[in-house]
Structure 1
Amino acid sequence: MKLLMLGGTEFVGRAITEDALARGWEVTVFHRGRHAPAPGTRALHGDRTAPGGLAALSEGRWDLVVDTWGGAPTAVRDSARLLGGRAGRYVYISSRSVYAYPAPAGQTEDGLLVDGSADAASTAYAEDKRGGELAALDAFADRALLVRAGLILGPYENVGRLPWWLNRIARGGPVLAPGPRDLPIQYIDVRDLARWTLDAAGAGLGGPYNLVAPVGHATMGTLLDACAAVTGGAADLRWTDPAAILAAGVEPWTELPVWLPGDESYDHMFGGDVTRALETGLRCRPVAETVADTWAWLCSLGGRAPQRPDRPAPGLDAEREAALLGL
């Protein structure tokens, strides 16, 4: 298989690239040159947002294109149109954010979607992702696979959610743990996303698929307990009632990464139906494996994970945490 990876040097793109290389595929990575691609790939350089930025893709044929773009849909539109006659299939890594808010628990791929346009300039994340979907469908029709991922964790994470928890828990002492302990959460390990995506594309699947682990795969408790175990067990997890956290003005998801209280935002993010993905081969590794491998990767970087410049670094200030815990 000949894969053209649009991006491919960070997080999701990197994981997909490495999975393809492990399969013995021939991988071309098209990127801006800001980060080194995985060894064994062929690199082409260009900026999709600049005039003439796709020139390096004017020639060549590929069995599969994978695109992780999250900005203006016009970049997906222009790439897909350019490659429509020279690529077999097009995979767009989308997001469950394309569902109109608030999506009910049990939301399938047939749910109500936000408005989007393939011709739009960048507006908001959900609308941009929906516009990217429409751009891929316009150029590739039933040869387009739309991977609607939820929360993504694992090695190479450059958003900072799991790395923050690992570093905080590694410092030890009393740790504010947002309850309830048994609150189910939904995420996908980036390597499981990569494996399913390439398997599905190889099998000729098309259309939208929700891609997260099934409800019940993980809870806040299993996630933070795994963090405590892998970092040495010196932390004292203090499980705290959600009402107390919210009353103190702490922002779910940003100041306490991954966590959401049990309201409509929780159902929207952590209540997705993944039957289609499970029936087509999705397998999700244990929580402890995701956490341990992310910790090993983080340690290899001296504890400092890369941080996307377009995303604020998550985490709760130490003084606010101590005040909430009455320390």
Structure 2
Amino acid sequence: MRLLVLGGSWFVGRVLVAEAVQRGHDVTVFNRGASPAHLPSAVRHVRGDRELIDDVRALARCGPWDVVVDVAGSVPAVVRRSVEILADVAQRCVFVSTISAYRDWPHAPVDEDSALWDGDPDFDPGTRRWDPDAYGPLKVGCEIASRDAFGPERLLVLRPHVVLGPHEYVGRLPWWLTRMRRGGPVLAPAPDRGIQPVDVRDLTGFLLDQAEWRGTGVFNVAPPATRATYGDMLRSCIEVTADVAERSARLVWVDECWLVEQGVTQWTELPLWRSAAAPWGMNADRARRAGLRCRPLAETVADTWTWLCEGGRPVTHERFAEHGIAPEREASLIARWLAEHPRQSDGASEPAPSRTPG
């Protein structure tokens, strides 16, 4: 299969390219080359900027391809211009979208038929800075642009939940691993909440399977929410870092509503924690029926730690600095919680009594 990957240097794209080469596919990567490529020698690397129409036209002359995979598109107008050109030299398109495309997430469970944000395929926000409030609607606009160019019979859209694993650049799991290595009392919420991040290797494996099988349509991509909990993830982080930890890490389970009252920034100060009704309410049954298989979360944690220990470094990205709570603030919150709940010690291993978040 001749495969064109738009992106390919970071995280999902990087893992996708490596797996595609391992499967024996003929892979072309198109990007600006601004980040270290780390591309296998068998990959054809075409440098260019998809925001420049002449660069996209030059890329098209390198075709044709069986499939074009867009792992990086986030500006609808830019995606529209590129897919309109590439639709003539690629038989099919795969667009990697996001759970943020759903209007009601994280406040209600979602499946592929849930309502989406309104999206405009011609919209350009005029900035390339990360905006979490605009991300979902922008991705929907990109989906529409891809569908307009290729038609539903030639388009596969994947909407993954949070993606973790080696090469993660956002910094969620790397922050927790680094925090557990530092040890001591650790501010820990929501031990029993089901959690369903998808391993990057499972996402890219499913993508390639569907590309090989000529799959079309829309698939949510996530493991079942009942497979692992937030507490399982944190305990796995402690386990894999124990041999090199500066001191033993001890989880201090804190009520979610109390954290909200203290103004703890959800999703970032304590990465992957959110007190909404359904932050981990993605139904991915359709993908599982189509062959999606997800490895245990503990394996993702362990392999990410191995990658970090072997010198792996996330690429520089503005979102990395958002994640993690300052040590002084964490210590202050733990002290305040224990003062208000004197029967708990800072070595508490049992969950705190929980109220239903509002």
| Aligned equivalent of 1:33 | 33
Runs of 4+ in 1 over 6 A off after TM superposition: none
**Equivalences for residues 19-98 of structure 1 within 5 A:** 19-34=19-34, 35-39=36-40, 40-59=42-61, 60-98=63-101
Matched, 1:135 2:149: no
Distance 1:296 1:64 in 2: 33
Contact 2:186 / 2:252 at 8 angstroms: preserved in 1? yes
**Equivalences for residues 107-186 of structure 1 within 5 A:** 107-122=110-125, 124-141=134-151, 142-179=153-190, 181-186=191-196
| Aligned equivalent of 1:212 | 222
Secondary structure of the residue aligned to 1:52 is helix
How many residues are paired up? 321
The one of 263, 271, 275 aligned to 1:257: 271
Residues 155-203 of structure 1, C-alpha deviations (whole Å, 9 max, x = no match): 1100010000000011111111112x11111211011000001101211
Cα offset, 1:101, TM superposition: 2.7
Cα offset, 1:30, TM superposition: 0.4
Contact 2:99 / 2:105 at 8 angstroms: preserved in 1? no
Distance 2:298 2:196 in 1: 15
When normalised by structure 1's length, the TM-score is 0.93
When normalised by structure 2's length, the TM-score is 0.86
Q: Percent identity?
A: 45
Secondary structure of the residue aligned to 1:3 is strand
Contact 2:102 / 2:116 at 8 angstroms: preserved in 1? yes
Q: Residues 50 and 310 from structure 1, CA distance in 2 versus in 1: closer, same or farther, beyond 3 angstroms?
A: farther
Distance 2:105 2:201 in 1: 28
2:159 aligned partner, one-letter code: R
2:261 aligned partner, one-letter code: A
Cα offset, 1:300, TM superposition: 2.2
Pairwise CA RMSD: 1.7
| Aligned equivalent of 1:326 | 335
Cα offset, 1:83, TM superposition: 1.2
Distance 2:103 2:297 in 1: 29
The one of 266, 284, 293 aligned to 1:283: 293
| Aligned equivalent of 1:306 | 315
Secondary structure of the residue aligned to 2:186 is strand
Contact 2:161 / 2:222 at 8 angstroms: preserved in 1? yes
Secondary structure of the residue aligned to 1:54 is helix
Cα offset, 1:52, TM superposition: 2.2
Distance 1:104 1:318 in 2: 30
Residues 88-130 of structure 1, C-alpha deviations (whole Å, 9 max, x = no match): 2100000111111346644221111111121110382111100
The one of 202, 215, 239 aligned to 1:229: 239
2:186 aligned partner, one-letter code: V
| Aligned equivalent of 2:17 | 17
Structure 2 residues not aligned, in runs of 5+: 127-133, 337-358
Matched, 1:271 2:276: no
Contact 1:69 / 1:76 at 8 angstroms: preserved in 2? no
Contact 1:46 / 1:55 at 8 angstroms: preserved in 2? no
Contact 1:159 / 1:307 at 8 angstroms: preserved in 2? no
Contact 1:152 / 1:187 at 8 angstroms: preserved in 2? yes
1:326 aligned partner, one-letter code: A
Distance 1:248 1:104 in 2: 21
Residues 193-242 of structure 1, C-alpha deviations (whole Å, 9 max, x = no match): 00001101211211211111111122111111110000016211111111
Distance 1:323 1:44 in 2: 51
1:131 aligned partner, one-letter code: G
Secondary structure of the residue aligned to 1:81 is helix
Secondary structure of the residue aligned to 2:96 is strand
Distance 1:214 1:172 in 2: 30
Contact 1:8 / 1:37 at 8 angstroms: preserved in 2? no
